[in-house]
């Protein structure tokens, strides 16, 4: 069978979970059609999700349709839980972007589109809620082409086959010539256009009323391609969770070979590349005790899972979201990150140290929380996306740990960088220890993050020491000298270093590396970076004047009647 992992993404309230419910119902995976507003949706099975009517945690369901076996991943639509959504993108073969026909393309929809472009995921578009009054298919198609991509093509029923073929032929020169000669384009060629992200099929309907769902399923089957995977084992970890008994679950997609029960998994990498500095300093090896195939809250156990499938594995305690196992490298850091930090206020009888160890469990599941203990203030701080996530986290802590907590006002998360290149030197030489490191710190482009490399000769410093230094650079969050905020947008290059044949140990280079970074930052001209959001404002033409008055002095703003304006 054609095995596919397909994710559903949308702006909040576009009908994403309702579409997922409809797909499962139509394929016979569930017997009763649930609804979000009735609090009985199959995938929104957590009490917090049913209470608020939003998806908070990514869920999976499995269904078959003719010769197609699909693992469907339903992702959160609210921006506060976008990190949970973004982690699932790494394991998707295809994506379904759901757009509300009554609202059109909304702010978060564009963010999702940029992420799909970044991760190069072939995308099908389902325009939902077409049963509502005021929806206009022609206008929506024009909006999709303008705001998303010219490759958005109407695949819905009622299209003239010849017209559809002609519309598709213009997106590929080879297909254009074939169409001119034969007057036809094969389904496999159309699937190739979609796979290469030259065309984005658009379907219209109402998930709640089951309109257009059968047609959409048929399109998924017809215009998707079978993925081919290598024989050597590889897997991508995209989620850590816990079941109702508290057992730790590692959700992963198998990207090569297969995974059998009791197989020993490790974080060791096989690359000898000098710049593969992600080689872990503390290697581990653990067995996959149980393999589960989840569908909603229920699961079936499996003895073996082949490449292309998603599963949950018990028995692993050292995995983390974004980790690559086997032949897979660790995945890139998420684009969407928290920009606020909140103080956690504990009840008087609660020990901060005991709570800190419990909160590490939540950080294990969502690394973007970034729980920090401030020694001087004796306070716990947590990085979050916004107020909705604050309320959800309060409920989670009360549910899991039985502690009622509060949060202080949110503070902005600043970062620091440097203006000009500078060399930092780190020297570490207590009794019977020795290491020296010279680093070049250079400013990078905005948004480039931190990059590390080496230009040091192996005649000066052995390869293993160089790899160790690069590992130490990447293993820690280095802070600036202005406010103690993390540094970013910088390239750090290892120039040279020294060691002693008898007295140098691995920990010596850790200290020398940290000191070299600190020395360089103290010498450099540092600058404080403040995060900002881009807002898009939709207003009627008769409210332009009033809106300009309200936003006077709030930032640069351009108003055009009846159009979307940007407000950085």
All residue ranges of the chain with pLDDT < 70 are 34, 36-40, 44-45, 49, 52, 269-282, 533-536, 550-568
Answer whether residue 228 is part of any domain.
no
Q: Are 208 and 18 in contact (CB under 8 A)?
A: yes
Q: Which three-class secondary structure state does DSSP give residue 408?
A: coil
Cβ neighbours of 140 (radius 10 Å): 23
CATH code (residue 375): 3.30.70.870
The pLDDT score that the predictor gives to residue 544 is 77
User: Are both 319 and 396 inside the same structural domain?
Assistant: no
Q: Which three-class secondary structure state does DSSP give residue 253?
A: strand
Orientation of helix 506-523 relative to helix 463-475, angle to 10°: 60
Range of the domain at 173: 2-222
Q: How far apart are CA 384 and CA 199, in angstroms?
A: 36
> What DSSP string runs through 68-135?
EEEEEEE---SGGGHHHHHHHHTT-SEEEEEEETTTBS-HHHHHHHHHHHHTT--EEEEEE-TTSTT-
Q: Who's near 367: CB < 8 A, 6+ residues apart?
A: 320, 321, 322
Answer whether residue 333 is part of any domain.
no
CATH code (residue 452): 3.30.230.10
User: Are both 180 and 128 inside the same structural domain?
Assistant: yes
Cβ burial of 271 (10 Å; 0-12, 13-18, 19+) is: exposed
Quote the tokens at residue 42: 């199959």
> How many secondary structure helices (H) and strands (E) does the chain include?
14, 30
Q: Are 452 and 489 in contact (CB under 8 A)?
A: no
Q: Which residues pair with 68 in a beta bridge?
A: 2, 65
Quote the tokens at residue 234: 């590889």
Answer whether residue 346 is part of any domain.
yes
Boundary residue ending a domain (386, 408, 430) = 408
User: Are both 164 and 275 inside the same structural domain?
Assistant: no
Quote the pTM value.
0.81
Answer whether residue 334 is part of any domain.
no
The pLDDT score that the predictor gives to residue 164 is 83
The pLDDT score that the predictor gives to residue 337 is 79
**Structural domains in the chain (count):** 5
Helix (H), strand (E) at residue 532: none
Q: Are 310 and 72 in contact (CB under 8 A)?
A: no
Q: How far apart are CA 91 and CA 310, in angstroms?
A: 8
Question: Most distant CA pair in the chain: distance in Å?
Answer: 83
Cβ neighbours of 26 (radius 10 Å): 17
Q: Are 438 and 457 in contact (CB under 8 A)?
A: no
User: Are both 545 and 524 inside the same structural domain?
Assistant: no
User: Are both 113 and 213 inside the same structural domain?
Assistant: yes
Cite the beta strand spans of 129-275 per DSSP E. 152-154, 200-204, 234-242, 248-256, 258-260, 264-266
User: Are both 509 and 539 inside the same structural domain?
Assistant: no
Q: How far apart are CA 108 and CA 524, in angstroms?
A: 38
User: Are both 320 and 366 inside the same structural domain?
Assistant: no
User: Are both 399 and 513 inside the same structural domain?
Assistant: no
Answer whether residue 396 is part of any domain.
yes
User: Are both 31 and 115 inside the same structural domain?
Assistant: yes
Closest to 308 (Cα-Cα) out of 257, 244, 384? 257
Quote the tokens at residue 47: 């009490």
The pLDDT score that the predictor gives to residue 280 is 47
Boundary residue ending a domain (352, 375, 408) = 408
Q: Are 203 and 223 in contact (CB under 8 A)?
A: no
User: Are both 290 and 157 inside the same structural domain?
Assistant: no
83-122 tens-digit pLDDT: 888 889 999 999 999 999 988 888 888 889 999 999 999 9
Answer whether residue 300 is part of any domain.
yes
Answer whether residue 331 is part of any domain.
no
The pLDDT score that the predictor gives to residue 37 is 64
Q: What is the DSSP letter of 449?
A: -
CATH code (residue 89): 3.40.50.300
310-368 tens-digit pLDDT: 999 999 999 998 899 999 988 877 777 788 888 999 998 888 888 988 898 888 888 77
The pLDDT score that the predictor gives to residue 536 is 67
Boundary residue ending a domain (378, 408, 438) = 408
The pLDDT score that the predictor gives to residue 176 is 85
Gap between the terminal Cα atoms of the chain:
48
The pLDDT score that the predictor gives to residue 557 is 46
User: Are both 13 and 138 inside the same structural domain?
Assistant: yes
Q: Pairing mode, if any, of strands 285-287 and 264-266?
A: antiparallel
Q: How many residues does the chain have?
A: 568
Answer whether residue 227 is part of any domain.
no
User: Are both 384 and 480 inside the same structural domain?
Assistant: no
């Amino acid at each position: 069978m054609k095995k596919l992992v397909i994710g559903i993404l949308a702006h909040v309230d576009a009908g994403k979970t309702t579409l997922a419910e409809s797909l499962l119902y139509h394929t016979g995976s569930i017997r009763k059609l649930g609804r979000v507003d009735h609090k009985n949706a199959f995938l929104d099975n957590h009490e917090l999700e049913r209470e608020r009517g939003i998806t908070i945690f990514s869920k999976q369901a499995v269904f078959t349709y003719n010769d197609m076996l699909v693992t469907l991943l339903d992702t959160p639509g609210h921006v506060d839980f976008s990190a949970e959504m973004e982690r699932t993108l790494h394991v998707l073969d295809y994506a379904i972007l759901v757009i509300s026909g009554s609202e059109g393309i909304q702010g978060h929809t564009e963010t999702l589109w940029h992420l799909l472009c970044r991760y190069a995921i072939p995308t099908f578009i389902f325009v939902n809620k077409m049963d509502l009054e005021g929806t206009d298919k022609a206008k929506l198609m024009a909006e999709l082409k303008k705001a998303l991509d010219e490759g958005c093509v109407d695949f819905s029923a009622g299209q003239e086959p010849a017209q559809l073929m002609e519309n598709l032929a213009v997106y590929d020169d080879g297909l254009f010539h074939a169409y001119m000669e034969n007057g036809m384009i094969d389904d496999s060629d159309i699937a190739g256009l979609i796979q290469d992200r030259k065309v984005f099929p658009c379907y219209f309907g109402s998930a709640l009323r089951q309109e257009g769902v059968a047609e959409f399923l048929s399109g998924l089957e017809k215009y998707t391609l079978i993925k081919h995977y290598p024989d050597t084992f590889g897997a991508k970890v995209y989620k850590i969770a816990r079941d109702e008994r508290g057992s730790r679950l590692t959700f992963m997609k198998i990207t090569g070979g297969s995974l059998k029960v009791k197989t020993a998994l490790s974080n060791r990498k096989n690359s000898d590349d000098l710049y593969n500095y992600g080689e872990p300093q503390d290697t581990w090896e653990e067995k996959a005790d149980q393999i589960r195939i989840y569908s909603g809250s229920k699961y079936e156990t499996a003895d073996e899972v082949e490449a292309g499938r998603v599963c949950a594995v018990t028995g692993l305690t050292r995995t983390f979201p974004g980790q690559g196992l086997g032949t897979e490298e660790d995945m890139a850091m998420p684009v969407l990150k928290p920009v606020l930090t909140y103080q956690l206020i504990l009840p008087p009888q609660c020990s901060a140290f005991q709570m800190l160890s419990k909160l590490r469990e939540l950080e294990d599941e969502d690394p973007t929380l970034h729980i920090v203990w401030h020694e001087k203030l004796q306070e716990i701080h947590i990085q979050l996306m916004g107020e909705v996530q604050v309320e959800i986290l309060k409920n989670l802590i009360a549910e899991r740990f039985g502690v009622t907590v509060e949060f202080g006002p949110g503070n902005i998360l600043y970062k620091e960088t440097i203006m000009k290149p500078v060399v930092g030197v780190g020297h570490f030489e207590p009794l019977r220890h020795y290491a020296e490191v010279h680093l070049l710190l250079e400013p990078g482009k905005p948004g480039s993050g931190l990059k590390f490399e080496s230009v040091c000769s192996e005649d000066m410093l052995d390869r293993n020491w160089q790899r160790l230094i690069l590992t130490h650079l990447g293993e820690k969050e280095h802070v600036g000298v202005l406010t103690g905020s993390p540094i970013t947008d910088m390239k750090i290059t290892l120039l040279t270093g020294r060691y002693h044949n008898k007295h140098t140990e691995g920990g010596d280079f850790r200290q020398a590396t940290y000191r070299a970074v600190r020395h360089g930052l103290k010498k450099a001209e540092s600058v404080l970076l403040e995060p900002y959001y881009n807002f898009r404002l939709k207003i009627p033409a008769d409210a332009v004047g009033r809106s300009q008055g309200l936003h006077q002095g709030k930032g640069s703003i351009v108003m055009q009647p009846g159009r979307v304006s940007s407000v950085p």
